[in-house]
Amino acid sequence: PGRRVVTAAMSAEAAPGVEPAEAEPGAAAGPGQQQAVLLAEMVEDAAVWCALHGLVVGDRADPRSGTVPGVGLVHAPFSLLPSRFPTSFWKQACELAPIFNELVDRVSLDGEFLQAALSRTKQVDEFTARLLEIHEKMMAINKKEAIRLGLHRSDYMLDSETNSLLQIELNTISSSFPGLGSLVSELHRTLLNQYGKVLGLDSKRIPRNWAATQFAEALGKAWAEYNNDSAVVLMVVQPEERNMYDQYWLANHLKESYGVTTIRKTLAQVEAEGQVLTDGTLVIDGRTVAVVYFRAGYAPTDYPSEAEWKARLLMEQSSAVKCPSISYHLVGTKKIQQELAKPNVLERFLDSKEDIAKLRKSFAGLWSLDNEEIVKSAIEKPDLFVLKPQREGGGNNIYGHDVRDTLIKLQKEQGESLAAYILMQRIFPKASLTPLVRGGDCFEDLTISELGIYGAYLRNKDKVILNNQCGYLMRTKVSSSNEGGVAAGFAVLDSVLLT
Ligand code: ADP
Ligand code: MG
Ligand code: MG
């Protein structure tokens, strides 16, 4: 943890980027002290704003905060000020969103490609194998998804070595924080409207962020395409979810703007209460489901028994719109990211040479572990690589010395163990000093940021109804931490200050 600089109770020590005040005891407050007081005021204003506007998560300290709404709330961790980001890279990232949306859709149509690309992973990764099994079953019955809904988030870091915007990953399932992310931009705008003059920061430099309403719009339009006024949206959730307010924001917009009801069920509840009628209609607890929106189901821990797998298969077999379908889910795996980065693969799926060039420019080095040369390099210089298994949700990747140790261990094992992982070029963003607020306390630390750009895609047969960039999520983490998840406790929510 970084240096504790100030709490909401105004026990100021120093302001960000300012040397501690050298004032003599009893002397008048110096500029350092003044700034510390200002900072304390801002922290308090910000924390109050969060409470009044629903920028909240469940508090770990309260055991009921993940299951009972309205109990044990705490403000989401946030950075006190938006992070600087060059306008040119911002535009580049936004422009990529509709292209990635289209790419996901195209790749998802090529079942043979997905099966072949993941065939070796399947032998050593039980979780991926189970997903592929469902996918295979859908291929066998020639299942067609007429209405296709994607709610993605493509994440990027600015690499200081090459001065380029490079993609970390593309999330096609359970892309989180559209709700709270939009609010952080509003929080920062409000703070800069009040304090921007003193700080020399202009609130107009924070891009508007409509991620929550735009995701709700996509869900609402998918619901409308399904064309059954009494049908609901099913949000598939984990039994315990401290990030539930991010999800409730979407449900709230869906209700207010489209009159659509959202029901929340765990995979186990779907198994117990769900059925698919002979015409393909998905019925849960007596209600017809138009859209299944997954905020669970991306990790092995979401499937503690066969019941959860049965539920996933049941929903996939139905005619409900799935966000994501099993094929969209698979397109978002790290193995597919690596396969798409190989020469001449994008060309199989996209027609526009210009679009292909734009995507490729954002690809970092990605390698499969059957490349002996690269494994050798990674053992020699592990700090230049990240070793990634086929997992989501943060906290799964391998860095530094562990890359070497793991690779040596995997090499010694017989069989296909290496196929469970991919290697990625490590990206090195420039670090800067940032005040971070967690649990009402402000800490200053050296941080790096990751920009996520949301994308929504909706198609019914040949008619593309939506293909948009919709808002963003900046996440900022202490630079000494390898991982970046907010829910996983590594990062804080942030927004963008264009430079
Ligand atoms: P997950 O699906 O679990 O979020 P990611 O690929 O996004 O997996 O990796 C998790 C975190 O690890 C990222 O948010 C980022 O902070 C860090 N990370 C991932 N890939 C790289 C990379 N190539 N270079 C530097 N950091 C990385
Ligand atoms: Mg991910
Ligand atoms: Mg990630």
Residue 36 lies in a domain: no
Distances (CA, A) of 322 to 228, 316, 318, 326: 16, 7, 9, 8
Query: Are 135 and 159 contacting, i.e. CB atoms less than 8 angstroms apart?
Result: no
Look up tokens 């870091």; give the residue. 157
Report CA 31 to chain centroid distance, whole Å: 40
Distance 348 CA to ligand 3 centre (A): 26
Catalytic center residues: 153, 169, 171, 176, 334, 388, 392-393, 475
Residue 48 lies in a domain: no
Q: In whole angstroms, what is the distance from residue 303 CA to residue 308 CA?
A: 5
* Segment holding 368, helix H or strand E: strand 366-368
Final residue belonging to a domain, choices 408, 426, 444:
426
Query: Are 151 and 456 contacting, i.e. CB atoms less than 8 angstroms apart?
Result: yes
pLDDT along the chain (499 residues), means of 10: 51 39 51 89 98 98 98 98 98 98 98 98 97 98 97 98 97 98 98 96 98 98 98 98 98 98 98 98 97 98 98 98 98 98 98 98 97 95 97 93 95 88 97 95 95 98 98 94 73 97
Q: Determine whether the shortest distance from the Cβ of 2 to ligand 1 is under 6 A.
A: no
Distance 20 CA to ligand 2 centre (A): 39
Q: Determine whether the shortest distance from the Cβ of 397 to ligand 1 is under 6 A.
A: yes
The answer on 406 and 276 residing in a single domain is no
Residue 177 lies in a domain: yes
Q: Residue 375 is part of a domain; what is its CATH number?
A: 3.30.1490.50
Q: Determine whether the shortest distance from the Cβ of 103 to ligand 1 is under 6 A.
A: no
Q: For 431, which DSSP code?
A: P
Residue 89 lies in a domain: yes
Final residue belonging to a domain, choices 426, 446, 478:
426
Number of helices (H), then strands (E), in the chain: 16, 21
The answer on 438 and 382 residing in a single domain is no
Ligand 1 atom 23: residue of nearest CA: 426
Final residue belonging to a domain, choices 402, 426, 450:
426
With the most atoms of ligand 1 within 8 angstroms of its CB, the residue from 362, 483, 486, 490 to mutate is: 483
The answer on 106 and 158 residing in a single domain is yes
What is the number of the ligand 1 atom nearest to the C-alpha of 166?
23
Q: Determine whether the shortest distance from the Cβ of 491 to ligand 1 is under 6 A.
A: no
The answer on 456 and 329 residing in a single domain is yes
Which ligand has the nearest atom to the CA of 393? 1
Residue 33 lies in a domain: no
The answer on 471 and 395 residing in a single domain is no
- Tell me what pLDDT residue 200 has: 96
The answer on 400 and 283 residing in a single domain is no
Count of residues for the chain?
Answer: 499
Which ligand has the nearest atom to the CA of 395? 1
The answer on 418 and 289 residing in a single domain is no
Q: How many CB atoms lie within 10 A of CB 467?
A: 17
The answer on 415 and 340 residing in a single domain is no
The answer on 105 and 240 residing in a single domain is yes
- Tell me what pLDDT residue 414 has: 75
Q: Determine whether the shortest distance from the Cβ of 450 to ligand 1 is under 6 A.
A: yes
Report CA 389 to chain centroid distance, whole Å: 17
Q: How many CB atoms lie within 10 A of CB 383?
A: 13
Distance 5 CA to ligand 3 centre (A): 29
The answer on 313 and 278 residing in a single domain is yes
User: Which range marks the domain in which residue 416 is found?
Assistant: 365-426
The answer on 185 and 118 residing in a single domain is yes
Query: Are 281 and 241 contacting, i.e. CB atoms less than 8 angstroms apart?
Result: no
With the most atoms of ligand 1 within 8 angstroms of its CB, the residue from 158, 161, 165, 169 to mutate is: 169
Ligand 1 atom 4: residue of nearest CA: 394
Q: Determine whether the shortest distance from the Cβ of 331 to ligand 1 is under 6 A.
A: no
Q: Residue 262 is part of a domain; what is its CATH number?
A: 3.40.50.1760
Report CA 119 to chain centroid distance, whole Å: 26
- Domains held by the chain: number: 2
Query: Are 401 and 383 contacting, i.e. CB atoms less than 8 angstroms apart?
Result: no
ipTM: 0.99
- Which residues, at least 6 apart from 474, have a Cβ–Cβ distance to it below 8 Å? 82, 83, 85, 181, 184, 449, 450, 451, 452, 493, 494, 495, 496
- Tell me what pLDDT residue 5 has: 63
The answer on 315 and 174 residing in a single domain is yes
Question: Taking Cα atoms as reference points, which of 257, 255, 247, 320 lies closest to residue 287?
Answer: 320
* Segment holding 354, helix H or strand E: helix 353-361
What is the number of the ligand 1 atom nearest to the C-alpha of 334?
6
Q: Determine whether the shortest distance from the Cβ of 365 to ligand 1 is under 6 A.
A: no
Structural tokens at position 292: 């299944």
Q: Which amino acid is at 354?
A: E
